[in-house]
Chains A and B, each alone.
Chain A
Amino acid sequence: MNKFVERLKAGKVLVADGATGTNLQKVGLVGGIHTEDWVFDEPKKILDLEKAFVAAGSDIILTCTFGGTRPRMQGAKHGDQVYEINKRAVELAREAASARDDVLVAGSMGPIGKLLKPYGPLTPEEARDAFAEQAKALTEGGVDFLLFETHFALNEVDAGLEGARSVTDLPIIVSFSYDRGTRTMMGVKPTDVIKKYEPMGVTMVGANCGTTLENMETILTEYGAVDPGFPLWAKPNAGIPRFSEGETIYDVTPEQMADFAKRYVGLGARVVGGCCGSTPEHVAAIVKAIKN
């Protein structure tokens, strides 16, 4: 059995990692650079961050491949090496994970960044092929499972699942970003997501990024009302950022995040982590709170 599924079945609650983007910005990632380019250009900085999460107690490390689909990589320095970037990103995450026993690696697959027809220019076939290519590289690189994260549109995830399923049998998790209350910008509700994707055989559904820690509670409650006991994924931001004197500041402390993490587990979350603004300290606090 797949190692990840095995641990879920054994009733374990797992802790994922924190933010990739906002933490890499602290060590020099600037606008205009595709984060995925750093897999080739600054691999040590990615590795150091991932190692810090492993040291903080993360059971799951996400690959630095959020924007690693071909259409999204258009214009990136290494935009012609989509497969290689994704595969290499898995190797980096694997290397970080090897510092402790049983740390799993999840292949991160974010939105393509253009809307699908009829709302935008992308055809379902283009989206399917883009995700299939990424899923193949992540799978061959050796991830334990695939994670569609920060998604907002059902048609894009439908295409993504079709693409991923055409190249791999790995477990798949679907995580949406609800940033208009408990709806995504397309108006998708948690209820829609679990009702649609649970029957399609995804391993977990959940939410990441979004708005506040309180909002994540509401979202998990809505998921849980549809099928109590179905494993949920929760990876909220460290709150909504504010801007002060040229700095972007996330105010949520590790302790606050840890308190909420416990509530998420009570609502059915089986993996908890952090998105934008979440540091290794946030992860360490979550680990301490839910593993003791």
Chain B
Amino acid sequence: MSEELKKKMAQSIIDGDVETAVALAKESIAIGMEPMDAISNGFVVGVNEVGDAFGRGEMFLPELVMAGEAMKAAVATLDPELRKRGTERRKLGKVVIATVEGDIHEIGKTLVTIMMSSSGFEVFDLGVDCPAEKIIGKALEVNADIIAMSALLTTTMIRQKEVIDELEKEGLRGKFKVMVGGAPITRDWVKYIGADGYSEDAVGAVQVAKQLVGVVD
């Protein structure tokens, strides 16, 4: 019965079906299922499947966004039960994310936020056009594991380097893992600026982030 329920949970995420995800989360509470079990072995399975299908070019941005919405709703429904049992969802790590200064592109960055949150990271999204000191300040404030920066323009990608240089200058580089992304970002660029990782899309970004904090799938 509970295996059947978990399969349905995964499917509700794949379908991006918020209402069904919430109903299934409630059902799991009613039958006394451990909420972490429901998340890890039910809903997250769906997130992973959506990610894989996206990687294969079989799903696109709408499916990712709706899966993220369903995941968010499911976790919110389970949250009171998690608190009651004192087993809050284990966070994979804290991520401070922003689109760099001078760049107002937000779609890619928002997608990465959705996928990372869905996968269990605690994400602090600072929005677009974000100066280096704000990014670094927030990372210090929340004691982040990862700083993630997006840049869509060839003219703004240099800001990613500036943040890394600033971290070096202040002796903070060892404190945070830095990952970057955006249309013009290549492996060469990542090497050149000394970032720790990059991904071409939001799904890959989750894998990179997991590697950076030492989580093995």
Q: Give the B-binding residues of A (Cβ under 8 A).
A: 22, 25, 29-33, 72, 75, 113-115, 118-120, 180-181, 183-187, 241-244, 246, 248
Known: A31-B102, A113-B105. A119 touches B156 (CB 8 A): no
Residue B101 at the chain A interface, CB threshold 8 Å: yes
Shortest CB-to-CB span from A23 to chain B, Å, is 12
Closest to B101 in A: A32
Known: A31-B103, A32-B102, A113-B104. A119 touches B62 (CB 8 A): yes
Most buried by A among B65, B154, B186: B154
Main secondary structure of the interface of B (DSSP, over half): loop
24 contacts between A and B (CB under 8 A): A30-B102, A32-B101, A32-B156, A33-B102, A72-B104, A75-B104, A75-B129, A113-B105, A113-B106, A113-B107, A115-B61, A118-B69, A119-B61, A119-B62, A120-B65, A120-B110, A181-B57, A185-B60, A187-B59, A187-B60, A187-B62, A243-B192, A246-B158, A248-B184
User: Which residues of A sit under 8 angstroms from B69, Cβ to Cβ?
Assistant: 118
Shortest CB-to-CB span from A194 to chain B, Å, is 19
Contact with A along B65-103 (1 / 0, CB 8 A): 110010000000000000000000000000000000111
Name A118's contact: one of B66, B103, B156, B188 (CB within 8 Å).
Answer: B66
Shortest CB-to-CB span from B184 to chain A, Å, is 6
Report the Cα distance A118→B69, complex, angstroms: 10
Contact with A along B37-68 (1 / 0, CB 8 A): 00000000000000000000101111101100
Report the Cα distance A183→B54, complex, angstroms: 12
Let me know if A32 and B65 touch, CB within 8 A.
Answer: no
Name A241's contact: one of B57, B107, B158, B184 (CB within 8 Å).
Answer: B184
Name A115's contact: one of B107, B158, B192 (CB within 8 Å).
Answer: B107
User: Which residues of B sit under 8 angstroms from A244, Cβ to Cβ?
Assistant: 188
Let me know if B155 and A187 touch, CB within 8 A.
Answer: no
User: Which residues of A sit under 8 angstroms from B102, Cβ to Cβ?
Assistant: 30-33
